[in-house]
Structure 1
Amino acid sequence: MREISLDRLRTLVAIADLGSFAEAARVLHLAPPTVSLHVADLEERIGAPLLTRKRGQIRATPIGETLLERARRLLAEADQALDDVQRQVQGLAGRVRLGASTGAIAHLLPQALETLGRHHPGIDVQVAVLTSQETLLRLADGSLDVGLVALPQPPLNGLVLRPWRRDPVMAFLPASWRAPARIAPAWLAERPLILNDASTRLSRLTAEWFAAAGLNPRPRIQLNYNDAIKSLVAADYGATLLPHEATAPQPDPRIIMRPLRPALWRPLGIAHRAGQVERATQHVLDVLWQLRAANPRDPGVGGQPEASGRQAPEGGGRRK
Structure 2
Amino acid sequence: MRQLNLDQLRTLIAIADLGTFSAAAKALHLAQPTVSLHISELESRLDTPLVVRGNRRVTPTAAGAVLVERGRKLLRDTDDAVDAVKRQTEGRTGRVRLGASTGVVVDLLPQVLEVLGEGHAGIDVEVSILGSYETMARLAAGTLDIGLVAMPQPPLRDIVVTPWREQPMMAFVPRRWKAPKRVTPAWLATQPLIFNDATTHMYRLAMAWFAAAGFAPRARIELNYDAAIRSLVAAGYGAALLPLHQTKDAAIDERVQVLPLLPRLTRWQGIAHRQHAALDGATQSVLKVLTTFRQR
Bin the TM-score by the shorter chain.
0.7 to 0.9
Find the aligned partners of 1:264 and 1:170 in 2 and give their Cα distance.
8
Counterpart of 1:233, as a letter, is V
Higher mean alpha-carbon deviation, 31-40 vs 55-64, is at 55-64
Counterpart of 1:260, as a letter, is L
Find the aligned partners of 1:263 and 1:178 in 2 and give their Cα distance.
20
Counterpart of 1:21, as a letter, is F
TM-score (norm 2): 0.83
Q: What is aligned with 2:248?
A: 249
Q: What is aligned with 1:292?
A: 294
Once the 2 structures are TM-superposed, how far is the Cα of residue 91 of structure 1 from its aligned partner? Answer: 4.7
Q: What is aligned with 1:308?
A: none
Counterpart of 1:248, as a letter, is T
Higher mean alpha-carbon deviation, 161-170 vs 127-136, is at 127-136
Q: Structure 1 residues 20, 92: closer, same or farther in 2, change over 3 A?
A: same
Find the aligned partners of 2:248 and 2:91 in 1 and give their Cα distance.
32
Question: Which sections of structure 2, spanning at least 5 residues, go unmatched?
Answer: none
Find the aligned partners of 1:156 and 1:206 in 2 and give their Cα distance.
24
Find the aligned partners of 1:179 and 1:15 in 2 and give their Cα distance.
87
For the residue of structure 2 that corresponds to 1:207, the secondary structure is helix
Q: Is the 8 A contact 1:186 1:215 kept in 2?
A: no
Q: What is aligned with 1:310?
A: none
Q: Structure 1 residues 292, 275: closer, same or farther in 2, change over 3 A?
A: closer
Q: How does 1:1-320 map to 2 (within 5 A)?
A: 2-53=2-53, 56-212=56-212, 213-220=214-221, 222-245=222-245, 247-250=246-249, 251-276=252-277, 280-293=282-295
Q: Structure 1 residues 43, 232: closer, same or farther in 2, change over 3 A?
A: farther
Q: Is the 8 A contact 1:146 1:272 kept in 2?
A: yes
State how many pairs are aligned. 292
Q: Is the 8 A contact 2:183 2:261 kept in 1?
A: yes
For the residue of structure 1 that corresponds to 2:108, the secondary structure is helix
Once the 2 structures are TM-superposed, how far is the Cα of residue 275 of structure 1 from its aligned partner? Answer: 4.1
TM-score (norm 1): 0.78
For the residue of structure 1 that corresponds to 2:241, the secondary structure is strand
Find the aligned partners of 2:238 and 2:47 in 1 and give their Cα distance.
80
Structure number with the higher helix fraction is: 2
Counterpart of 1:194, as a letter, is I
Q: Is the 8 A contact 1:185 1:215 kept in 2?
A: no
Q: Is the 8 A contact 1:171 1:183 kept in 2?
A: yes
Counterpart of 2:243, as a letter, is P
Q: Structure 1 residues 55, 150: closer, same or farther in 2, change over 3 A?
A: same
Alignment deviations for residues 181-211 of structure 1 (CA, whole Å, 9 cap, x no partner) = 2223343344433322333211222233334
Counterpart of 1:199, as a letter, is T
For the residue of structure 1 that corresponds to 2:180, the secondary structure is coil
Find the aligned partners of 2:181 and 2:284 in 1 and give their Cα distance.
43
Q: Structure 1 residues 77, 152: closer, same or farther in 2, change over 3 A?
A: same
Once the 2 structures are TM-superposed, how far is the Cα of residue 159 of structure 1 from its aligned partner? Answer: 2.5
For the residue of structure 2 that corresponds to 1:224, the secondary structure is coil
Once the 2 structures are TM-superposed, how far is the Cα of residue 283 of structure 1 from its aligned partner? Answer: 4.1
Question: Which sections of structure 1, spanning at least 5 residues, go unmatched?
Answer: 299-320
Find the aligned partners of 1:180 and 1:132 in 2 and give their Cα distance.
32
